[in-house]
Amino acid sequence: MVDVGPNPYVVDIEELTKANTNFRTAQWTGSNLQMTTMSIEVGGEVGLEVHHGFDQFLRIEAGKAKVVMGPAEDNLDQEWDAEDDFAIFVPSDTWHNIINTGDEPLKLYSIYAPPHHPHGTVHATFADAEAAEAEEHNQ
């Protein structure tokens, strides 16, 4: 799949999300919004992170997860169980992580406003995503 943004686009988002086998794939990137699909392996996680200056929306299309959030990296004082059809809203400047607690890959999509990843981003694995984030922080 090629990032088709910023062109107009209509898609069965559940089908697109479930078909994604990469850790992260940028599916649509515009000037003010981005949608990525994610596949988190059993026991894997999105990774503890915080987004300064923008909010994030995620929706689970398959699997089960534990969602944690809090005001600081060492203060994740909120926790939820989530599964198919659950939506997750992450306010700006909130530390968060999503951990796959099920027995199948966790399939979800994420909407960032504004975009967070470069147009066309594909991270095949969690390790690829971590390396890309580290490189971004070193620039």
| 3-class SS of residue 26 | strand
Does 134 score more than 90 pLDDT? no
Print burial letters for 56-89: b (CB count within 10 Å at least 16), e (below 16). bebbbbbbbbebbbbeeeeebeeeeebeeebebe
- For 85, phi and psi rounded to 5 degrees? 75, 5
Does 136 score more than 90 pLDDT? no
Q: What average pLDDT does the chain have?
A: 95
pLDDT 10s digits, 18-70: 999 999 999 999 999 999 999 999 999 999 999 999 999 999 999 999 999 99
Q: Provide the whole-model pTM.
A: 0.91
- The type of residue at 23 is F
CATH code 2.60.120.10 for 13-137: yes
Domain ranges for the chain, please list them. Answer: 13-137
Please tell me the predicted confidence (pLDDT) of residue 118.
86
